[in-house]
Structure 1
Amino acid sequence: MKIFTPIYDKALIWSQHRRAPAILAGVSFAESVIFPIPVDVMLAPMALSQPKKAFYFAWLATIFSVLGGILGYWLGQIAYEPLVQPVLESLGYMGHFDRAQQWFMEWGFWVVFLAGFSPIPFKVFTVAAGVMSVAFWPFVLAALISRGMRFFLVAWLMRVGGPMMDKHLRNHLDTIGWVTVVLAVIAYLLLR
């Protein structure tokens, strides 16, 4: 069943909208605090459809993701019990949050770096960093480097890959989409 290809085609059209950079900035900010959709879903089509602006889009995503991470950090520091904890519980992120706290105790700074670059929910780690009172400036530095590496990698792949990348994505998109859904469900069941 092909449902991901039409969504991808729509994302390519939306990526050329005049307000797409502002939406990318908003999504990047929100994804670091609470929004469940990864930034790459918007960044990749934007970089693919406008390759000359790919690195600009990566900078935009990086800056606003780090700003959102700073908000997540301060929410963890200031409003964890009354505001953040109920939201984490309602979204089913408490297991992730508990694991994030354990990882912070073991690895500190490097956890932020890993979470910023990997598909691990970054928002959980921004809040956990605040709750655990991780040193603020190293947190910001780790977020800036790791989010930048991730978003610039996506932008570079789309810019260099161009039409060939589009062709490969289009040919395998539904398979990738369904595999991702299955892996997400398995991960959710295992981490619950």
Structure 2
Amino acid sequence: MLRRLYDWTMSLAARKSAEVWLAVIAFVESSVFLVPADVLFLPMALAKPERSYRYALVATIASVLGGIAGWALGYYAYDAIARPVLEFYSKFDEFEQWRSAIHGEWEILLLLLVTSGLAHLPPIKVVTILAGVIGMNLGFFVISAIIARGARFLLLAWLLRRYGEPIRHFVEKRLGQIVGIGAGVLITLGIAYKLLAH
């Protein structure tokens, strides 16, 4: 099923309505969809590099709006909607692990900025729903999401404009791993700091 979703999303890049689909995919990725918007963003930005920053802006705005929807699902409709979505994608156990480990807004901010903002560890929808479940201040959440998602898409746009097709393969295969390692280091340092502070 995941492969079919991926292939379908890739096919949208060739359509005239690709920019609209980019907004749709970026929105639903942040709340209920499994395939990341990068799958559509990358071929679009490569095909029309002069529009890469425009695509980055579209993806950022839609992703933040989708994040607000994810936050609302976690805050207002966790049992009715959010939990079934997480179970459908087999993300419920992962969500519960993060839920037991994360208690404050700053921890969500770190998770959003470092992991879901730049990589997909955990998927962005897990973080947005979790932010709603713990009652993270919506204004703080929106600012965090703008910074995190904007940084991701603008960085990708810059890399694609500067390096073109070769960087696409690097981004698709290695960026998540590199950022994931960096995220792990930062989270470990944050936990160590909290333990030493207490």
- Alignment TM-score, normalising by the size of structure 1: 0.76
Pick closer, same or farther for the CA change 1:165–1:82 going to 2, 3 Å.
Answer: closer
Q: Distance in 2 between matches of 1:67 and 1:173?
A: 25
Equivalence map 1:84-99=2 (5 Å): 84-99=82-97
**2:70 corresponds to which residue?**
72
**2:32 corresponds to which residue?**
34
Q: Distance in 2 between matches of 1:92 and 1:163?
A: 33
Q: Give the deviation of 1:136 after TM superposition.
A: 1.0
Q: Distance in 1 between matches of 2:12 and 2:112?
A: 31
**2:191 corresponds to which residue?**
none
Q: Give the deviation of 1:100 after TM superposition.
A: 2.4
Q: Give the deviation of 1:149 after TM superposition.
A: 0.7
Per-residue CA distance 1:116-172 (angstroms, 9 max, x = gap): 222120001101100100111111111110111111111111111125546xx3xx8
**1:17 corresponds to which residue?**
15
**Alpha-carbon contact 1:66-1:144 (below 8 Å) kept:** yes
**2:57 corresponds to which residue?**
59
How many equivalent residue pairs?
A: 165
Aligned match of 1:156 in 155, 158, 165? 158
Pick closer, same or farther for the CA change 1:103–1:62 going to 2, 3 Å.
Answer: farther
Aligned alpha-carbon RMSD (Å)? 2.7
Aligned amino acid, residue 116 of structure 1: G
**Alpha-carbon contact 2:19-2:55 (below 8 Å) kept:** yes
Pick closer, same or farther for the CA change 1:130–1:173 going to 2, 3 Å.
Answer: closer
Aligned amino acid, residue 118 of structure 1: A
Unaligned runs of 5+ in 1: 181-192
**2:196 corresponds to which residue?**
none
Q: Give the deviation of 1:87 after TM superposition.
A: 2.2
- Alignment TM-score, normalising by the size of structure 2: 0.74
Q: Is the partner of 2:103 in helix, strand or coil?
A: helix
Aligned amino acid, residue 18 of structure 1: K
**2:189 corresponds to which residue?**
none
Pick closer, same or farther for the CA change 1:109–1:52 going to 2, 3 Å.
Answer: same
Which protein, 1 or 2, shows the higher relative CO under an 8 Å CA cutoff with sep ≥ 6? 1
Q: Distance in 2 between matches of 1:41 and 1:94?
A: 24
